[in-house]
Structure 1
Amino acid sequence: MFHVNAIRMLALFALLVCGIAGLPENVSAQQGGAVPGESLGINSDTDLWRFVRTGNAGSTQMKDELAAVMIQSEGDNYRAIRNGPLSTYGAVGVGAIIFLLAVFYMSRGRIKIDAGPSGETILRFGAIDRFAHWLMAGSFVVLAITGLNMLYGKYTLLPLIGKEAFATLTAYGKYSHNFLAFAFMVGLALSVVLWVRHNIPNKTDLQWLKMGGGLVKKGVHPPAEKFNAGQKIIFWAVTIGGISVSLSGIALLFPFQTSMFADTFAIINVIGFNLPTDFTPLQEQQLNQLWHGIVSLVMIVMIMAHIYIGSIGMEGAIDAMNTGHVDRNWANEHHSLWVEEEDQKSAKPAE
């Protein structure tokens, strides 16, 4: 039996050797980097690489569908805009408002109460108003600082404090940015509910604007309601800008879940425009980031002017949001129509 099995094994081995020897050359072991069969091997296929370069999706076994895209060429366009015009014009805007406010302060000085403090106060904002304001304002300041750090920090702060400190600071800043965004949204919603009825534009606002709001020339005090035209502009800019930046922020916090730009452009196209609506999830994120940065920078510039007027730029203004009470002479000079309304409310009926 042993001899029979041995003979069978030798015969099988001989057949295998003969079979391999009879194979054609192109099916034998790879030689010189050539790949067997009809594969291109090291040769390049123009159509294949064009398909890859232009960001087309292939197939993948990974759960992340974005992994099917090898190269997202639009990403370089996003990088060029973010590090180019967005960063440049943003820096120019912030620098310009600081320069203009400094020039205004040197030429106009602090806007004083012309009649001087009266010592008598009037309630301007209650506790809930001040809470809404400081919740929104405080969170916005942190959001602005951490956002500016993400955009400019590696050029300005990193060389000063080093890579490790900058990495730690930026990481904590990112967490603060993400979580305080919700505090800003709550403060914004409260402010809209509390103040929208006081911020409807009217003819009085036109007169206020014609007179420069009494900011340029000393002794000029145009009539104004509880919110003057300048404050109404700030209110609507913060409301519209705040809603917009909140929506783009939510899209960034929960990536690839929204199609805000495709949906918005589709609505705009109804009135005759021809904007693109076919965006990949990654392109949506890139547009969200750019829009988030643009709107945020515009809001930062406007709020810097608002902070200036409400603090060092005008005597007595900050009391409105600190204690809620303002000096009566200040109120008469800057919000005379509102003072008249408050006096009428508090007047006792004649007996």
Structure 2
Amino acid sequence: MRTTTPWWALWRLPLLMLALVVSLGFAQFALAQADPEREAATAVPAVDADIWRQIESGETGPNYRSSRFGSDYNLINTVGETWRQLRERWVSPFGVIAVVGMIVLIALFYLLVGRKKLDEPRTGRKLLRWPLMVRSLHWTVATLFILLALTGLNLAYGKAVFRPVFGDGFWAAMMSGTKLIHNYLGPLFGILLVIMLLRLLADNIPRKHDLAWFAKGGGLVGKGVHPDAGFANGGEKLWYWLLATAGIAVIVSGLVMDFPNFGQARDTMIWANIIHAVGAFGLTAVALGHIYIGTLGTEGSFEGMASGYVDETWAKEHHNLWYEEVKDQAVSEEQLEANRTSSQGDEPAPRSG
């Protein structure tokens, strides 16, 4: 059945045409503003040969060159050039070496040593290691960390990797989305990381037996029993304190760049960028090792953060001091299944001393 458009709805057509014309006008204006020649002519008027000779000679002045910390120069930003040199010569190569180097080391370690399996058979009795709240917090922080790491690597190297392959249009759209994700998820990650660090602080206080754990390489050096470890072993504590130091530095430096409206100078944001990049690259590399050990590298480790429970054998071999404190709380798999069926939820989390 044919329908006709009411006469009173025809006013939408001229308004749509007007909006189209206005949008085209704004597009042309934006393109004109983006023209490098016009921008240069506007930003640096009346620059003649004498002025450039003064600049090249190193003469300082409000209109020539500035080595001051304030961003009140016009032509040459020497601090910005220092930042560019640091980024291109040191920070970017460091990121590639750290991340790719860690991937290569993990691959070689897996091929040469293989997965660390349990020395004894599983008992089938389980100990609660991570309650639901901590697991939820961990997986949320881990997911945000991975997203921030991927988008951060894209911001650092995406231009060199994706632009030549896919072209300017794809690269520009991808970078726009990358910046949006990175800038908005960063503060959320910072808040949740601080909450998680506070929640796990009591279990990550360094102890004397942690030195012996490092001396034995977490059980990889020498033969015999595993080195002593409480609720958290020496490696887990090292990762915790890296997050509590370098991680906080990355968060703070990221907030400095994320919120330029608080009055920080350009020079402050430049050094925040250096700190942010170096810390983020380092943490990403170490996180790859943490992910490997907690998943493919060690039998039984992933189960604890997936279900909350670990087998007695795993607890005894990897965290013997904690096991001695909570071994009387072990429950059978049948009892756990009954608990799930009756929707009783998690038991209170055992704590280390």
Residue 244 in structure 1 maps to residue 246 in structure 2: no
Q: TM-score, normalised by structure 1?
A: 0.73
Matching residue of 2:193: 188
1:94-243 matches, within 5 Å, as 94-216=99-221, 220-243=225-248
Q: Which residue of the other structure, out of 284, 287, 292, is the alignment partner of 1:303?
A: 287
SS at match of 1:122: strand
Residue 282 in structure 1 maps to residue 266 in structure 2: yes
Residue 338 in structure 1 maps to residue 322 in structure 2: yes
Could you tell me how far apart the structure 2 residues matched to 1:187 and 1:239 are? 12
Query: Structure 1 residue 145: deviation in Å?
Result: 0.6
Query: Structure 1 residue 228: deviation in Å?
Result: 0.2
Query: Structure 1 residue 219: deviation in Å?
Result: 5.8
Q: TM-score, normalised by structure 2?
A: 0.73
Q: Which residue of the other structure, out of 65, 73, 78, is the alignment partner of 1:54?
A: 65
Change (3 A) 1:164 1:216: farther
Task: Return the letter of the residue paired with 2:290.
Answer: H
Change (3 A) 1:180 1:41: closer
Task: Return the letter of the residue paired with 2:124.
Answer: G
SS at match of 1:326: strand
Change (3 A) 1:201 1:42: closer
**CA RMSD across the alignment:** 2.6
Could you tell me how far apart the structure 1 residues matched to 2:266 and 2:91 are? 19
Matching residue of 2:43: none
Task: Return the letter of the residue paired with 2:180.
Answer: Y
Query: Structure 1 residue 53: deviation in Å?
Result: 2.8
Task: Return the letter of the residue paired with 1:328.
Answer: E
**Larger Rg over CA atoms:** 1
Q: Could you tell me whether the CA contact under 8 Å between 2:219 and 2:227 is conserved in 1?
A: yes
Could you tell me how far apart the structure 2 residues matched to 1:41 and 1:66 are? 20
Q: State percent identity of aligned pairs.
A: 33
**Mind listing any 5+ residue stretches in structure 1 that lack a counterpart?**
1-39, 58-64, 260-280
Higher relative contact order (CA 8 A, sep 6+): 2
**Mind listing any 5+ residue stretches in structure 2 that lack a counterpart?**
1-45, 332-353
Could you tell me how far apart the structure 1 residues matched to 2:225 and 2:156 are? 41
User: How many pairs are equivalent?
Assistant: 280
Could you tell me how far apart the structure 2 residues matched to 1:325 and 1:345 are? 12
Matching residue of 2:38: none
Residues 34-65 of structure 1: per-residue CA shift (max 9 Å, x gap): xxxxxx996836779742231389xxxxxxx9
Decide which moves more: 246-255 or 88-97: 88-97
